[in-house]
Amino acid sequence: MTDTSSNQDETLLRFPCRFPIKAMGRTEAGIEAILIEIIERHAPDTSKDELRSRPSRNGNWISVTVEIEAHSKGQLDAIYRELSEHAQITCAF
């Protein structure tokens, strides 16, 4: 039997590392500003120049990616938790 409780904090990532965070939502929701606001709380050294946006074919949706310097699994978990809880973010990955 495998003890999964001791493996919960394990990750394949080696920290610190560059890590892309992507969020999607409706174009009019201001996803870029939301993503930057959340990222600045958890990775304040991230430059806004790292932000890349891509609208959907019809312009109704937008995906926004920002690459951060990740320092821990806990940091990434906190970012994804906050993105997932935000009403304007449709999905984050």
Q: Which whole-number Å values give the CA distances from 79 to 11, 23, 54, 64, in the listed order? A: 16, 11, 21, 14
- Is the pLDDT higher at 11 or at 66? 66
- Confidence check: pLDDT of 6 > 50: no
86, burial (CB in 10 Å: exposed 0-12, middle 13-18, buried 19+) = middle
pTM: predicted TM-score of the whole model, two decimal places: 0.85
- Confidence check: pLDDT of 46 > 60: yes
- Confidence check: pLDDT of 2 > 60: no
User: Which domains does the chain show, CATH number per domain?
Assistant: 15-92 (3.30.70.260)
pLDDT tens digits, one per residue of 10-31: 789 999 999 999 999 999 989 9
| Beta carbons within 8 Å of 9's beta carbon, 6+ residues apart | 73
